Amino acid sequence: MQYHNITKDDMLNGDGLRVVLWVAGCSHGCKECHNPVTWDPKGGIPFDEEAKQEVFEQLEKDYISGITYSGGDPLFMGNRECITALAKEVRERFPDKTQWLYTGYEWEEIKDLPVISYLDVVVDGRFEISQKDTQLHWRGSANQKVIDVQASLGQGQIVLHES
C-alpha cells in the first residue's frame, strides 16, 4: 500500500483529536474531489514499518482519540489487505482508541469485509458535488452517511448523521 501523508492533531476527520492516514488509490473519480492527487495507487510513498511506527507514536499520546483512514480510498482493492492488518493491530495495541474510515463504497457493499469488525465509524458513499453541503458534520455531501459500525453489526445500519 502507498500513502501520501500522516496528519497529526486533526479535528476535521472524525470525533476528537486524531491521526489521519491518507492512502493512495481510488477508482471512484468523484467530480470535484478535494484530494484527487491520491487517486493513483502508485502515487505517494510505501507504507512501511517506519510509517506504521509514526502512526503508533501518535496513537500513544493520551490526547489523541484515534485514527482515521482516508485518501484516496482505504477500501480500494489494492489497499484492503494492508488496511485490515493495520486496523487489527491498532485495535490490539490501542483498544481504547477509535478507528474511523472514509470510503466511496456504500455500506451494503462493504459491511461484510474483514476490516469492518475493527472499525468504530464508517463514512460511506461517493462525494456528490450536486449534494455538497459545508454544514454537514464529518462528510462533504448529503448522500454520505456516518455509520456507527459496532452498533450496526448484526442490527442493520445505524446512522449517526444523515441529512
Predicted confidence (pLDDT) per residue in 21-80, tens digit:
999 999 998 888 888 899 999 999 999 999 999 999 999 999 999 999 999 999 999 999
Phi, psi of 31 (to 5 degrees): -60, 130
CA 35 to chain centre: 14
Predicted confidence (pLDDT) per residue in 88-97, tens digit:
999 999 999 9
* The three cell numbers locating residue 4: 501520501
Pair 127, 33: CB distance under 8 Å: yes
The reported pTM is 0.91
Pair 160, 140: CB distance under 8 Å: no
Predicted confidence (pLDDT) per residue in 67-84, tens digit:
999 999 999 999 999 999
Q: How far apart are CA 163 and CA 161, in angstroms?
A: 7
User: Which amino acid is it at 124?
Assistant: D
Q: How confident is the model at residue 163 (pLDDT cuts 50, 70, 90)?
A: very low
Q: How far apart are CA 60 and CA 2, in angstroms?
A: 23
pLDDT at 35: 86
